[in-house]
Structure 1
């Protein structure tokens, strides 16, 4: 069945130019700035790109500050499903239509700022940070989980087609739910305008909502992992880490067992939510020790 790689390397070309020294610009609020970013990046809104460039152009010697790549995000998000469709008989026609369908879905996401809180930057004298809270409307895909699980158990042509047909239909017609997030914006010189140095906080939640398949796959694997802590994320981490270290560095297995004992003891006194967060953090460190075959 399909797994989805992280799309954090998407071309966030809206960020880098904004680190330049600014001259006075049209005064966009943090909320307005966020909305324009979202409309340009997620919705391919050419009007929003013009508005943002008009506001920032004095800071860039009369040049455009953002150069959006039309359809690039939708194309990157569509690629995993296109690969799956390409394996199916007669899937070429459906495959070609996926980027446009994904783009139409993203245009309805409507990520918008709800409010912003400006605070002092603890690391830069006399500088501020605007924490912008936002909501997005993302497609509800929960009904697809049984079809996805069936494909994991048996990746037959029938199961794959059943899942891809349902997913394509959901992209077009499924109801939506509200997703909340927060993005930090930083001011340029003299607080003339706001910019984001990293738009992952906007892009990643949307990608994860529209392409939840890697998370679903991890959930399925966690359900089958030996119950050491009783917390699925921790138990799956321990299983995968133990298997990888056994193959690549068996002399380090005592360290894995020590980590298992420590997590088991913590789980006895901590909440599942806190343990899940801790094991997510531990995963990034463990994965640094894994080779490609372990991932």
Structure 2
């Protein structure tokens, strides 16, 4: 009697346990984004015939790479040279994506009455380079638009996303399960593409950090415009301060912002002619801060 019992029990024990929404999300991230071979084996063993529900698994490069800024990829090409450009881009992109370590934190499961599907609303976290540390370098490349400034910013940016320091960001997404299935998967974000809703949600969370410099540039331009006095001597003084700080000591841009605020606050309470004289008197002090002229 023992042998037949064993024969019956083996298939039951060998049957894969259905993955939870959190485990499905984690394995998908490790496979499609981080290119983890062990995760791919686990994923394929559990999903099996339903692998077609995960079109991004069939491509070698993650669609998430499209969220990385073109400026960083162009810098890598210029830095590596034509012969090594493709290899350098691939190596950097792979390292950045592996750093993301997007993982599910929790989920709430509910039923969608329209079609009987179960839906898991997943809260997740990802690791991303703390790009806020580069804001002064970004502003420096704006106020002193030379190739050296641009190179300094993108060099630091590429290193930060690859090596850190990192910070944690958060997002939400959804997985669904058909009424006759035990497989959680992500619905298509756009039926005309291979991208899924999870791909889009994760990319949106990360792109907010990866592409932060675009919002910085806009914010800095708005602030610069608001601080203008239309008193030529003062606006030129502030502009010179910004340009020299950007070139010689980007951290000193904080001083330029403080000077712009001080002059702007005085404008309207002090006659333009008097304000112009005050700015002219400050000019030698500002010029003395730098090792050489930066006109």
User: Taking structure 1 as the reference length, what is the TM-score of the superposition?
Assistant: 0.58
- How far did 1:180 drift? 1.0
| Separation (CA, whole Å) in 2 of partners of 1:74 and 1:93 | 25
Larger RCO (alpha carbons 8 Å, 6+ apart): 1
| Separation (CA, whole Å) in 1 of partners of 2:223 and 2:32 | 36
- How far did 1:150 drift? 1.6
> How far does the alpha carbon of each residue in 1:25-70 deviate from its partner, in whole angstroms, 9 at most, with x for none?
751110011111211232112332332222222346xx79543423
Q: Which residue of 1 aligns with 2:220?
A: 220
RMSD, matched Cα = 3.1
Greater per-residue helix proportion: 2
Aligned residues: 200
* 1:118 matched to 2:109: yes
- How far did 1:79 drift? 4.2
User: Taking structure 2 as the reference length, what is the TM-score of the superposition?
Assistant: 0.58
Matches within 5 A, 1:31-180: 31-59=22-50, 66=55, 67-73=57-63, 76=66, 77=68, 79-84=70-75, 86=77, 95-96=85-86, 97-121=88-112, 124-180=114-170
Residues 131 and 64 (structure 1), Cα distance of their counterparts in 2 relative to 1, 3 Å cut: closer
- How far did 1:217 drift? 2.6
* 1:30 matched to 2:30: no
| Separation (CA, whole Å) in 2 of partners of 1:93 and 1:144 | 29
> How far does the alpha carbon of each residue in 1:214-240 deviate from its partner, in whole angstroms, 9 at most, with x for none?
23233234435669xxxxxxxxxxxxx
Residues 119 and 153 (structure 1), Cα distance of their counterparts in 2 relative to 1, 3 Å cut: same
Maintained 8 Å contact 1:138/1:206:
yes
Query: Helix, strand or coil for the counterpart of 1:164?
Result: helix
- Structure 2 gaps, min length 5: 1-14, 188-196, 228-295
Maintained 8 Å contact 1:78/1:98:
no
Matches within 5 A, 1:281-292: none
Larger radius of gyration: 2
Query: Helix, strand or coil for the counterpart of 1:179?
Result: strand
| Greater shift in the superposed pair: 199-208 or 112-121 | 199-208
Maintained 8 Å contact 2:118/2:178:
no
Maintained 8 Å contact 1:74/1:102:
no
| Separation (CA, whole Å) in 1 of partners of 2:222 and 2:32 | 34
- Structure 1 gaps, min length 5: 1-23, 228-295
| Separation (CA, whole Å) in 2 of partners of 1:79 and 1:195 | 30
- How far did 1:105 drift? 2.2
| Separation (CA, whole Å) in 2 of partners of 1:187 and 1:225 | 52
